[in-house]
Structure 1
Amino acid sequence: MTDYNAIQGLSQLAVVSEYFLQVTLDKTGRVITSDSGIGPVPTFFDNKEKPIYFADCFVASNWGKYENQRIKAWKNSHQSFTVDLQKIVHPEGDLVDTKWEFFFISEDFGTCLGIGHPVSQPMPYNLGLGDFFDSTTSEGKEIIDSILEDKLLGFWEFDVTKKGDNISQGLGQMLGYTQDELTGTMPISWQKHIHPEDFPNLIHDLGIHFKTPGNIPFKKEFRINQKTNQTIWALGFGKTIEWSNSGHPTKILGCILDITDRKKQEIWLKEHHYFLKELAFEQSHTLRARVANILGILEILDSEPQNNESKRLVQLIKKETKLLDQSLKKSIKESVQKNKSLEDDLTNDNSSSLL
């Protein structure tokens, strides 16, 4: 991913997200910006202007690994580089394995913006983003673009063997559950909130993902019914992260985005398109009917006795009216072709969204 606006978008998302880690380092290892999960938490007696360095955030021996990857990427004209780092958890001093992608954001290739995630936590909303964003495939990039464009609702993890769900706080709150319900002992299944009309197709596409096995990614648009009886449109991505020895899926990880605003716009465009199509059809054929009436009147006049000047004017009006009729026919044909092209585009958009 080399688009700077997209990088900045992910950086801003990381600052307020429970899923990301974010840090910006200069060439000396000084921390320029970071989220609250990076570096020691200052106490009342600390100097607020005291700089934080790489060794305050990560194991000091990791600096050589980071520098080697940075210089290697710079010499090979790469826009970014990846590196695994051990993050220090303050104030306990525990270590957490994390995976990072750093992007060059200065002309001297010294200042780097890093976006990372833990790789050892068991819950999907702690490790899931990395599994999706590490992909260099078009599907992985599409998920990033979707998160930047739409609202990330949360993550879910389904254990096939236990038939149990784990869902993130954000997803649970979106479904309408209270904090007490989310922290309670009763399991919460987001699948039961899928609109009944959309559920069979979603299960069908998930089955295709399993049969490939996993080569065809799971992506589906569907409706979700909240506990408040409100309905939203969602876009779900899924990925099998564990398989049994016999090749059956045992654990599935997914994320869900709110695309309600986008779907409302699509529906409005379709309705607007069909309205204009009908309006253009009716108006065009009404005009041609009027032209046909004029030509009929001119034919009657042409059969009547006339002087030379009157005959010349009737022929002139007849010629111009026929040209007008030809223009109308051409306009109708072009309108039909454009509408057909737009209908094909709308159909293809709907088909691709279900792949």
Structure 2
Amino acid sequence: MNYHDAIQALSHLAVVSDYYLQVTIDNTGKILSPHPSFGQPPTFFENKEKTIYFSDCFEASNWEIYENKRIKAWRNSSKSFTVSLQKKTSSEGDLVNTKWEFFFLTEEFDICLGIGHPDPSPMPYSLGLGNFFESDTSEGKEIIDSILEDKLLGFWEFDLAKKSDKISQGFGQILGYTQDELAGTTLISWDKHIHPEDYTYLLHDLGNHFKSSGNTPFKREFRINRKTDQTIWALGFGKTIEWSTEGHPTKILGCILDISDRKKQEIWVKEHHYFLKELAFEQSHTLRARVANILGIVDILESEPQNAESNRLVQLIKNETKLLDQSLKKSIKESVQKNMSLENDFLNEKSTSSL
């Protein structure tokens, strides 16, 4: 699967969704194809003879922002760039904030296909990942947001009839292959890069997807081993796009997202949780055990003959030791609760920031 195949797949996402926007712009700012998915267009679209420009569709002051991003991507030989723009929703100039990723369609870097969505997004996504492009689940939000946040590793396609698979150029480079290797005649299979411990689970989920005739989503977190022996945590989505007349899957299309940062956070949280449990155990058992020993010694002293002053001191030690034990119990409880609260706040913050 080449770069243009991947862009076509992304373009299809915008077409089938009522939520995503799509537009093509040349380097002069001329709108070449305001697709219906571009959203509710201003009335000037009704004039077929009129040439439409960037400032007709977006806030005019945004052109400099867009152009700077485009030129920077061109100089860095990047295939895409992201930018936030204020889109006009009426001929009166009403605006809505939108977030876009633009892809270069020509080698001259002069024509860009843009796919965007409102930002922030108050409305639900109408597409999901169970069917990859057309589903009523809410998981489609995860793939598009990840794509727009530069977390997309690439696309893959598997032909069960021919027992062959293809990967996008970008995905191949992530795996560690050179341009010459990717341009060679030998097909590169990405499944051999799946971590052995995760491979069985991935096949299990893929099997469930097949058994349900595509109704059960294919979605699996797993590790990918690069040629450089580095490991990437990935989230894979897939959709069966072709079935035989007997109802057997013949071709699958999927994409891979990088979730390494999320996994690092999850591992940190687990380690932190384990540390808190160990700390609570240490405080509860070790420190309070010392307090219990002191109380035991005091009990022995109480049983021995004493004068009034000695007895007063023993009772004073006993009372202070009990107060110390109560303070330790309270401190341990409050410490654990506070750290657990901070941990939950951290997780909620990371979860919200990924949306």
Establish whether TM, by shorter chain, passes 0.5. Answer: yes
1:184-263 mapped onto 2 (5 Å cutoff): 184-263=184-263
Stretches of structure 2 that go unaligned for 5 or more consecutive residues are 1-5, 12-20, 47-84, 104-112, 117-126, 344-355
Partner of 1:96: none
Q: 1:58 aligns with which of 33, 46, 66?
A: 33
Listed one character per residue, the Cα deviations across residues 280-319 of structure 1 (whole Å, up to 9, x for unaligned) are 3123312112111211221122223334444334223323
8 Å CA contact 1:154–1:168 kept in 2: the answer is yes
Partner of 1:167: 167
Q: CA deviation at 1:168?
A: 1.0
Q: CA deviation at 1:18?
A: 4.9
Normalised to the residue count of structure 1, the TM-score between the two structures is 0.59
Q: Which has the higher contact order (CA 8 A, sep 6+)?
A: 2
2-side partners of 1:318 and 1:214: how far apart? Answer: 71
CA distance 1:214–1:110, shift in 2 (3 Å): same
Partner of 1:311: 311
2-side partners of 1:115 and 1:148: how far apart? Answer: 7
Q: CA deviation at 1:261?
A: 2.9
Q: 1:38 aligns with which of 24, 30, 36?
A: 24
Q: CA deviation at 1:202?
A: 0.6
8 Å CA contact 2:239–2:252 kept in 1: the answer is yes
8 Å CA contact 1:239–1:252 kept in 2: the answer is yes
Q: CA deviation at 1:135?
A: 4.7
Partner of 2:16: none
8 Å CA contact 2:100–2:148 kept in 1: the answer is no
Q: CA deviation at 1:173?
A: 0.8
1-side partners of 2:284 and 2:219: how far apart? Answer: 42
Listed one character per residue, the Cα deviations across residues 22-75 of structure 1 (whole Å, up to 9, x for unaligned) are xxxxxxxxxxxx99x834456xxxxxxxx63x4xx138999999558x99xxxx
2-side partners of 1:252 and 1:308: how far apart? Answer: 89
Q: Which amino acid is the alignment partner of residue 175 of structure 1?
A: L
2-side partners of 1:157 and 1:247: how far apart? Answer: 19
Larger displacement relative to structure 2 (207-216 or 315-324): 315-324
CA distance 1:150–1:321, shift in 2 (3 Å): farther
2-side partners of 1:273 and 1:196: how far apart? Answer: 28
Normalised to the residue count of structure 2, the TM-score between the two structures is 0.59
CA distance 1:206–1:103, shift in 2 (3 Å): farther
Q: Which amino acid is the alignment partner of residue 244 of structure 1?
A: S
Whether 1:321 aligns to 2:321 is yes
Question: How many equivalent pairs are there?
Answer: 264
Listed one character per residue, the Cα deviations across residues 114-151 of structure 1 (whole Å, up to 9, x for unaligned) are 96999xxxxxxx9xx99846655221112234445672
CA distance 1:66–1:198, shift in 2 (3 Å): same
2-side partners of 1:183 and 1:220: how far apart? Answer: 29
CA distance 1:261–1:116, shift in 2 (3 Å): closer
Q: Which amino acid is the alignment partner of residue 191 of structure 2?
A: Q
Partner of 1:278: 278
Listed one character per residue, the Cα deviations across residues 227-257 of structure 1 (whole Å, up to 9, x for unaligned) are 2232222111111222223222222111111
2-side partners of 1:295 and 1:136: how far apart? Answer: 65
- Specify the SS of the correspondent of 1:247: coil
1:132-147 mapped onto 2 (5 Å cutoff): 132=132, 135=135, 137-147=137-147
Q: CA deviation at 1:104?
A: 5.7
Q: Which amino acid is the alignment partner of residue 236 of structure 2?
A: G
8 Å CA contact 2:132–2:237 kept in 1: the answer is no
- Specify the SS of the correspondent of 1:198: helix
CA distance 1:336–1:294, shift in 2 (3 Å): same
2-side partners of 1:295 and 1:184: how far apart? Answer: 79
- CA RMSD across the alignment: 4.5
